[in-house]
Amino acid sequence: MALELGGLRAEMLGEVRISYPFLGMGIAFLEISEENRRRLGEMVRALAFGLRPRAARAEEDQPPVAASSTAEKTASDPRRALEALVDFFGKRELLTREEFYGILRNSQTGR
């Protein structure tokens, strides 16, 4: 499988061990090189702390992407974003990309 985040890509052999519909899955990594392990670790840290991976930060000098595109969004307070998502999924089962970005934006502005 290949995972990509903000221009950083990691490839590894994995096996799905558990699946939660509409939520996610648990994957056991069977084979992964040291370089891909480092990249995967950086992706996990970036997601956990609302940061941009180094590969994406290196591209910050590039022209800005239009707001209507799928440009990467980050949360200044990931805990509030997660709480808002938990609240959302307590009431509904499906989430569109637009709803996700709205929840993320509102959780950071206190709405």
Nearest to 52 by CA among 9, 2, 6: 6
Q: Is the pLDDT of residue 52 over 60?
A: yes
Residue matched to tokens 């590039």: 62
Q: Is the pLDDT of residue 72 over 50?
A: no
Reported as a pLDDT band with limits 50, 70 and 90, residue 66 is: very low
Integer Cα distance of 18 and 63 in angstroms? 41
| Residue 21 φ/ψ, nearest 5 degrees | -55, 135
Tokens of 74: 């980050």
pTM, 2 dp:
0.46
Q: Is the pLDDT of residue 13 over 90?
A: yes
Q: Is the pLDDT of residue 22 over 90?
A: no
The pLDDT assigned to 11 comes to 96
* Mean pLDDT along residues 63-76: 48
